[in-house]
A and B are shown apart, each in its own frame.
Chain A
Amino acid sequence: MSQLQTRFFTDNKKYSVDDVPFSIPAASEVQELSNVINKLLEAKNGSHSQIEFDFLVRGQFLRTSLSNHMEAEGISTEDVVEIEYVERFTAPQPEECMMHDDWISSVEADSEWILTGSYDKTARIWSLEGKAVMTVAGHTDVVKDVAWVRRDGLTSLLLTASLDQTILLWEWNSERNKLKARHCCRGHAGSVDTIATDPTRTKFCSGSWDKMLKIWSAGTIGLWVVWYSVLNWPTWLNKTEEICSASWDHTIRLWDAETGSVKTTLTGSKVFNHISYSPLCRRLASGSTDRHVRLWDPRSKDGSLVLLSLTSHSGWVTAVKWAPSHEHQLVSGSLDNLVKLWDTRSCKTPLYDVSAHEDKVLCVDWTDSRLMLSGGADNKLYTYRYTACETDAGA
């Protein structure tokens, strides 16, 4: 039991090693395995520099010693173990800390700008470097959610939803730094806590404490359909006609945006705080009040199936967000002041815990430009730079 027959393989051609079985000490952990791979690569290629690798045994990240992992997963130690190795997702490095005047309720970043909503009744636009560009003031109450709608050259459309029951559509010219309120969307009879834009960037959907989910057309502002549900966190699926909403009534509902009827209901046991959909892996991730991040398959007909539970938080999960370019990674923020970076292949432990916040984390986001953002009750918006590994290209 001291030695295991293993065979290493990888998708990355750059780091591929010979396809021969190796005898590895069973007690070896990730670091030893990584050293082995590095040694092999050095032997193959003299100019190889040390690289940290992560190892997957049957689709699960290796986090303990190899023998323990295989025992826990019930993998036979008799056969040759196939181990996949990938370049390690390096720890996100804190970049900027953008101070706000009040709690940050929401954040949304695109490739150039960061939009945050705050409890000081304003939304702000930041550059990626952390420079405050614009303050969007207009709401009479707390801004609960913000969203970019679209960008045409230098002009951008952005949305802010507020406790004052309105959603404001702004037009912002980044060059002239001019902001103009285009529309005020009234109609909700409760605080609008969340908005979501559809993938075509022509419509958006808002959820409110008045138990309504409303769909608005972003071009010519107009109310589309109204549905009843308890406080919703809607998210658009990649198909434009589907909306998914997670609600305080313990359900995740899949709505047909055309007819306004419920297509599927997935029932959880606790209040849902946030939901996110990944078009890459076609999974829903929900953050709820019972400390778990749960993955759902929106296509499953019976709504009782939870694919995975990611359990590490010790408080409510207030925000979840799938990685925009990686099908396995997601980030979650919680009331326990932690932001956790998850890989769904390792559901027991997250990849990284980011403990920068001193208070409740209320919102998280990523950008395509390798930036992770999190804002919370300590009035700080943190940005972290992560290095997208090469394997992401294949993802």
Chain B
Amino acid sequence: MRTVNLESQKNGTMSKAKEKSAKKRVVEEDDDQLPIFDKDVTEKKAGEEDDADLSDSEESVFSGLEDSGSDSHDEEEDAEEGDDEDDDDAVILDEILTKSSGVETATEPPATDKNTPTVNMGVLFLLQKQYSRVQNVKTAPKQKRKMKKGEGVAMDDGGEKGLINTRHGDEYEHDTSDEEDIRNTVGNIPMEWYQDYPHIGYNLDGKKIFKPIRNKDELDEFLDKMENPDYWRTVHDKTTASDIRLSDEQVDLVHRLQKGQFGDVNFNEYEPSVDFFTNEVMIHPVTNRPQDKRSFIPSLIEKEKVSKLVHAIKMGWIKPRKPKETTPQYYDLWAKEDPNAILGRHKMHVPAPKMRLPGHEESYNPPPEYLLTEEERMAWEQQDAEDRKLPFLPQKHSCLRAVPAFSRFIHERFERCLDLYLCPRQRKMRVNVNPEDLIPKLPKPKDLQPFPTTMSLVYIGHSSLVRSISASPTGQWLVSGSDDCTVRFWEVNTGRCMKTLEVGGAVKSVAWNPNPAVCLVAVCFESTVLLLNPGLGDRLVVSSTDQLITSYEPPEEDKEQAVTWALSEGPEHDNGHRLTLTHPKAVKQVVWHGKGDYLASVMPDNSSNLQVLIHQVSKRRTQNPFRKNKGLVQCVSFHPLRPYFFVATQRYVRVYNLIKQELTKKLMTNCKWISSMAIHPGGDNLICGSYDCRLAWFDLDLSTKPYKMLRHHKKALRGVAYHKHYPLFASGADDGSVIICHGMVYNDLLQNPLIVPVKVLKGHQITHDLGVLDVTFHPTQPWVFSSGADATIRLFT
């Protein structure tokens, strides 16, 4: 042991130690080990020599961490809050521990070497020293850190430390001189020092221990060896210089030790081991104390990473604590599905028809009222199978046992199957239409005012039925022609007859020139068309009209005309007669063109093409526009704006273009006999009254068929009229009534005219089955005049 100690002390000079011849075995054994140890030891030595450096470096590391820790204390704490960071801490701790404990681990293999316990002891001594030094170094800079580390070491390498401690105790036991050899008290000194003395030392009592008197030489040794049978068990004790004979027990002990066995015979080295820490998981921890924060050693790399992250967060490059999407995400698998695809069919699923529950008829013992009588049975049998109310005959049985097998079972099941899979099932969209809704929503007449509502004035004077009336363009005068062969001029607002003119026949038609600059009235009776100047209104106009007529100069060559124009003179002229146009046949109607220069007259005759004549007053010219006879002409009219000419025959209205001289349109009235016709001032609409009680409204742009057919009158219509400005039209009929309708025409071509009947005006007496013969509107006011067979003209306002 001492050699070991010596050697360990001479570790610095290992080469010299090798030269030592003494204890070759030990040296030889050490040869294997020493280089390793040497290396380690030199490293240790180097470590010792670099002690300052090492400590410096360690200090720098730790202090740096400490600084950073102090700097970013909050961050550390923050970081410690997270589980991940805690785990990292633990990892870091382990790493650090392994690093710092690298010294011990490196020494572990020799420590576990059983073959060289002594050497081990020495090495252990060294290790222990160095370890404590390292500890000292660590302690110096920071008490805290040392404590932490110490604890870590203690906790992780507790087992090894325990070993060290036990060895330590042994060493004291054997190293203490007074305890070691109580027979000689000289202590641990070289015994050569007592060579020259008779004693070898002192015993406990202080008395000299004397050497044996006779020193044995080689021969004695030999003799003894040969003679003494206990020689092999005799051991020379250097301290007392006496031979000690080993007892049998001691010999056994030596033998056992030499065999590598335990010294104690009773020691059972193969006793079952009882682990202090079992591999079984116990329900209670050995210690539940959480790891201290102070045991955390942050790492530099981690710190760099963290500081980078912190910087990034500060700069806003990273958004910490992004709110997590807490709402679960679902996917609508069928979102893009076309609802009309096959799947859409499922929406329209119609469940299969359910079977009817059996009723009393199906009972085996039905109540008697369900049983068919003979007649019913006969009727049932004669009915078609499809028409039968019941597909079977109710039968009465006395008891259930008497019920025979159901003969139609297969049949019935089959039909049920047919029902289930062959019967097309689909949802029928039932259209629930309230018949009230089909009636078009017409505005209330109240909202369509103004329109004439009451009779205001009656113009009395005629003695026979008044065929025709016409209002002056100013609305001050009214002219009427009657069967009593007179033409009367009325003041509209008083009903005063201003003038009465006798003509030579029943007046069929009168027409006031629509041009306000011309004061002319056309009157037709028998076969004559008379142009009158009533002398009413502006004197200037009256005189200029006369001038217009007299200023006519007959052309050079006199053309043969269908009518003869004659200028009235003398008393007739004083009466107002200006021009007389003698027609070949009876004239029924005269009508002015809107400009007031042209005049059309109608001579209905089914056998001739000379039915319509157009006269030009200023040139006293007459022409027959039609070569062919298209039927009995009832009435004609000029288009208010364009050069169109409307000719109504019995059933059709033909529209001619006067410039192109062609037929533009042929309107089918669906009437049996047209009586009258009026053109809307806009020119795109037309109404026709007929003797079969109908009034047809044509939209010329829409179709050649009537846009609307009104059958409000009970008897034949005699006259129809449009108002010039207000959206009104009127119709007079033989039932004595005038019906006022609101007929709004829109500028929008897509919007159809709105036609609302608003008022039935009654007042005329029915005379000779004739009621109202003509209607006309006041040119400026919403008033309507009607002339009747009762010889009166009535004004409705």
Contact = CB atoms under 8 A, between A and B. Distances in A.
A295 interface: no
Given A165-B539, A190-B538, A360 B456 contact: no
A315 interface: yes
Interface in B416-453: 449-450
Given A190-B537, A377-B496, A335 B781 contact: no
Contacts of B515: none
Interface in A82-121: 103, 119
A271 interface: yes
B495 A360 contact: yes
A209 B476 contact: yes
B781 A248 contact: yes
A98 to B, nearest CB: 20
Interface in A146-193: 164-165, 189-191
- Output the residue of A189, A289, A362 with the most chain B CB within 10 A: A289
B474 A209 contact: yes
Nearest to A119: B496
A190 B541 CA distance: 10
Contacts of A142: 498
Contact of B781 (A103, A189, A271, A360): A271
B496 A189 contact: no
B456 A289 contact: yes
Interface string B527-547: 000000000011110000000
Interface residues of B, number: 19
Nearest to B498: A142
A362 B781 contact: no
B215 interface: no
A210 B454 CA distance: 28
Interface string A255-283: 00000000000000111010000000000
Contact of B457 (A165, A269, A270, A316): A316
B496 A103 contact: yes
B797 A289 contact: yes
A103 B781 CA distance: 25
Contacts of B449: 269
B780 A248 contact: yes
B551 interface: no
> SS class of chain A's interface: helix, strand, loop or mixed?
loop
B326 interface: no
- Output the residue of B494, B537, B780, B797 with the most chain A CB within 10 A: B494
Interface string A328-340: 0000000100000
A110 B315 CA distance: 107
Contacts of A103: 494, 496
Nearest to B457: A335
B250 interface: no
Contacts of B494: 103, 318, 360, 362, 377
Contact of B456 (A190, A210, A315): A315
Size category of the A interface is 20 to 34
A191 B476 contact: yes
Nearest to A102: B496
Interface string B776-797: 0000110000000000000001
B307 interface: no
Contacts of A230: 780
A210 B476 CA distance: 10
Interface in B579-617: none
B16 to A, nearest CB: 137
Interface in B475-527: 476, 493-496, 498
Contacts of B457: 316, 335
B474 A273 contact: no
Interface string A354-378: 0000001010000000000000010
Nearest to B476: A209
Contacts of A210: 538
A26 B26 CA distance: 155
A273 B538 contact: no
Contacts of A164: 539
A209 B476 CA distance: 8
Interface in B728-762: none
A273 B540 contact: no
B772 to A, nearest CB: 21
Contacts of A335: 456-457, 495
A165 B541 CA distance: 12
A306 to B, nearest CB: 16
Given A271-B781, A335-B456, A189 B538 contact: yes
A209 B516 CA distance: 13
A205 B342 CA distance: 88
B619 to A, nearest CB: 28
A269 B797 CA distance: 12
A205 B449 CA distance: 34
A260 B34 CA distance: 142
Interface in B271-323: none
B540 A189 contact: yes
Contacts of B538: 165, 189-190, 210
Contacts of B450: 269-270
Contacts of B537: 190-191, 209
A273 B493 contact: yes
Contacts of B781: 248, 271
Interface string A228-246: 0010000000000000000
Contacts of A360: 494-495
A104 to B, nearest CB: 11
A164 B494 CA distance: 17
Contacts of A165: 538-539
Nearest to B449: A269
A7 B456 CA distance: 46
Given A290-B797, A360-B494, 15 more contacts: A142-B498, A165-B539, A189-B540, A190-B476, A191-B476, A209-B476, A209-B537, A210-B538, A230-B780, A269-B450, A289-B456, A289-B797, A316-B456, A377-B494, A377-B496
24 contacts: A165-B538, A165-B539, A190-B476, A190-B538, A209-B476, A209-B537, A248-B780, A269-B449, A269-B450, A270-B450, A271-B781, A271-B797, A289-B797, A290-B797, A291-B454, A315-B456, A316-B457, A316-B797, A335-B457, A335-B495, A360-B494, A360-B495, A362-B494, A377-B495
List 10 tightest A-B contacts by C-beta distance, closest first.
A189-B538, A289-B797, A209-B476, A316-B456, A190-B538, A165-B539, A271-B781, A315-B456, A103-B496, A209-B474
